[in-house]
């Protein structure tokens, strides 16, 4: 046998020792590798748990479906809404899904078909939504309790009053807009403006579009939201070399945030408190208020919209 041969005994023992040492090394390495893998898995798992707790990637949070009428370009509203959406998510503990459709009527239809929890309506769309879907008022900007429309024309135009509109082309915003159609047409009727001016009017789809239509001389005059006009002037989107205001309406109630009729009372109250709590003195709140074109929010009351209901009935827009 080889192991008994004097020339091979020692090398064979050394070989066996080397093999045993190698096996031990492999076992130790395998053990260390398993330990490292275990630690890595634990770190990843714990990190994931921490992320879920702070809500950054919490896919289990209940949703809050929010919609806004497109007072200006819908795409721009969505792009500028990030701080607002983040704020609502923080104060309500819900994942906010904001939708801004291309027309006012779509928000009313969303309320009717239970596709939205809380929505930003104009006065007239709110009146429609209360009639058809039973929505409940929550809050509104303080300015919405004494809102006004402005009538604009070119700077060098001969139009000086509502009575001068006869025979001229005219533009409204959306047919369902309070300050861009309903109330302007109401005051035009009171001023005895020729019905043909209203009947032949163009509908631009939004307040900003109306201002631009007048500025670019597509129409002789138009009616729009006063706040949008002021904002566009400040931003230089239109100038006093292009347009001027020739009539400002008496005040009326307009925009309002409202919840669906069966919205959980706590959710509605959390939303209302969040909006009322916005403070212009806090920079992070100021950015949100600027986005909403607001200085302060207050509680809203349904009875304040009875005048709009009567105006809509008189215009044949509400049965």
Q: How far apart are CA 17 and CA 26, in angstroms?
A: 14
Every domain of the chain and the residues it spans: 10-45, 63-145+257-314, 148-248
Residue 109 · residue 262 · CB < 8 Å = no
Torsion sign over Cα 177, 178, 179, 182: positive
pLDDT at 60: 72
User: What's the length of the chain?
Assistant: 319
Give the predicted TM-score (pTM) of the model: 0.74
- Asked, colleague to colleague, whether 63-145+257-314 and 148-248 share their fold, the answer is yes
CB-side exposure of 218: number of CA atoms within 13 Å? Answer: 15
Topology of the domain covering 148-248: D-Maltodextrin-Binding Protein; domain 2 (3.40.190)
Q: How far apart are CA 99 and CA 265, in angstroms?
A: 22
Q: Hey, what are 58's tokens?
A: 């919490």
**What CATH architecture does domain 63-145+257-314 belong to?**
3-Layer(aba) Sandwich (3.40)
Alpha-carbon distances, residue 77 vs 61, 108, 137, 262, 285 (angstroms): 24, 18, 22, 27, 17
pLDDT at 148: 97
pLDDT at 59: 57
Q: How far apart are CA 166 and CA 168, in angstroms?
A: 6
Task: Specify the DSSP class assigned to residue 317.
Answer: S
Query: What residue ranges of the chain have pLDDT lower than 50?
Result: 1-20, 22-57
Residue for token pair 């009935």? 313
pLDDT at 39: 36
Per residue in 129-144, pLDDT tens?
A: 999 999 999 999 999 9
Alpha-carbon distances, residue 22 vs 28, 29, 48, 99 (angstroms): 10, 10, 39, 66
């Amino acid at each position: 046998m080889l192991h008994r041969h004097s020339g091979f005994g020692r090398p064979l023992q050394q070989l066996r020792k080397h093999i045993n040492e190698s096996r031990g090394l492999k076992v130790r390495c395998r053990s260390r590798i398993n330990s490292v893998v275990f630690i890595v898995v634990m770190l990843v798992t714990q990190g994931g748990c921490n992320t879920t707790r702070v809500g950054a990637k919490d896919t289990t949070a209940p949703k809050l479906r929010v919609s806004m009428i497109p007072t200006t370009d819908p795409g721009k509203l969505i792009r500028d809404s990030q701080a607002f959406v983040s704020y609502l998510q923080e104060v309500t503990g819900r994942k906010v899904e904001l939708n801004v459709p291309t027309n006012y009527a779509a928000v009313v239809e969303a309320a009717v078909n239970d596709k939205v929890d809380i929505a930003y309506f104009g006065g007239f769309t709110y009146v429609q939504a209360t009639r058809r879907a039973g929505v409940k008022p929550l809050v509104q900007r303080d300015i919405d309790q004494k809102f006004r429309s402005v009538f604009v024309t070119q700077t060098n135009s001969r139009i000086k009053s509502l009575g001068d509109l006869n025979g001229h082309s005219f533009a409204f915003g959306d047919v369902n807009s309070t300050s861009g159609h309903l109330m302007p047409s109401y005051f035009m009727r009171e001023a005895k403006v020729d019905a043909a001016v209203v009947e032949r009017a163009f509908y631009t789809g939004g307040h900003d579009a109306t201002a631009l239509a007048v500025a670019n001389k597509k129409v002789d005059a138009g009616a729009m939201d006063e706040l949008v006009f002021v904002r566009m002037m400040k931003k230089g989107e239109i100038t006093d070399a292009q347009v001027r205001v020739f009539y400002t309406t008496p005040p009326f109630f307009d925009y309002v945030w409202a919840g669906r009729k069966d919205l959980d009372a706590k959710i509605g109250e959390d939303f209302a408190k969040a909006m009322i709590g916005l403070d212009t003195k806090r920079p992070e709140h100021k950015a949100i208020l600027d986005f909403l074109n607001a200085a302060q929010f207050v509680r809203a009351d349904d009875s304040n919209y009875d005048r709009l209901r009567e105006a809509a009935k008189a215009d044949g827009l509400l049965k």
